[in-house]
Amino acid sequence: MDSVKNFNLRVYGLLINNNAVLVTDEQRGGFPMTKFPGGGLEKGEGLADGLKREFDEEISIAIAVNQFYYVNDFLQISSFNPADQLLSFYYMVSTNQISEIPIATVKRKIKDGEQVFRWVALSELSPDQFTFPIDKIVCEMLAARNGES
């Protein structure tokens, strides 16, 4: 694909507690989205360090990066820049700071630049709850895994 000029490396954490996974609702540049916590890797940064930084920046908690979970093996163009090909890495993560996560308890309109967090029960996960194609696949994988337990 001639229009693809860059790789955009993304890393996300799947934090599960009491049979629920942490998700984030946010708005950037007027674009509302629901996704898993995480974001872009910075130059010179490893995946685990990038994920720890993202959780510290977004949620102000320390995490342990546990087992690798998924990476997309198909071409995915960025929703924000058609010259970027996304590679998104997902890891299971854990923390001993669950009680410090600022959970949104009331559904409300989110302002631009704002980010809120909520738990979604694994039994209630549905791809249509997520904005981006790769997150939808990971959601299906988590839901199928939950059905096996």
pLDDT exceeds cutoff 90 at 2: no
How many of the other CB atoms lie within 10 Å of CB of 54? 21
What pLDDT, on a 0 to 100 scale, did the predictor assign at position 113? 83
Q: pLDDT per residue over 70-110, tens digit each?
A: 999 999 999 888 899 999 999 999 999 999 999 987 777 78
Using the 8-state DSSP alphabet, how is residue 132 labeled?
S
| HEC string for 40-81 | ECCCCCCHHHHHHHHHHHHHCCCCEEEEEEEECCCCCECCCC
User: Dihedral sign, CA of 115, 130, 69, 42?
Assistant: negative
**CA gap 26, 59 in Å, rounded:** 13
Domains and CATH numbers, the chain: 6-148 (3.90.79.10)
pLDDT exceeds cutoff 50 at 11: yes
What pLDDT, on a 0 to 100 scale, did the predictor assign at position 32? 92
Closest CA to 138 of 6, 23, 17: 23
What pLDDT, on a 0 to 100 scale, did the predictor assign at position 149? 47
pTM, two decimal places:
0.93
Residue 18 burial (10 A CB sphere; 0-12, 13-18, 19+) = exposed
Query: Given 3-state DSSP classes, what are the helix, strand and coil percentages for the chain, each rounded to the nearest 5?
Result: 25, 40, 35
pLDDT exceeds cutoff 90 at 112: no
The H-assigned helical ranges of the chain are 47-59, 133-148
What pLDDT, on a 0 to 100 scale, did the predictor assign at position 4? 84
What pLDDT, on a 0 to 100 scale, did the predictor assign at position 1? 59
What average pLDDT is seen over the chain? 93
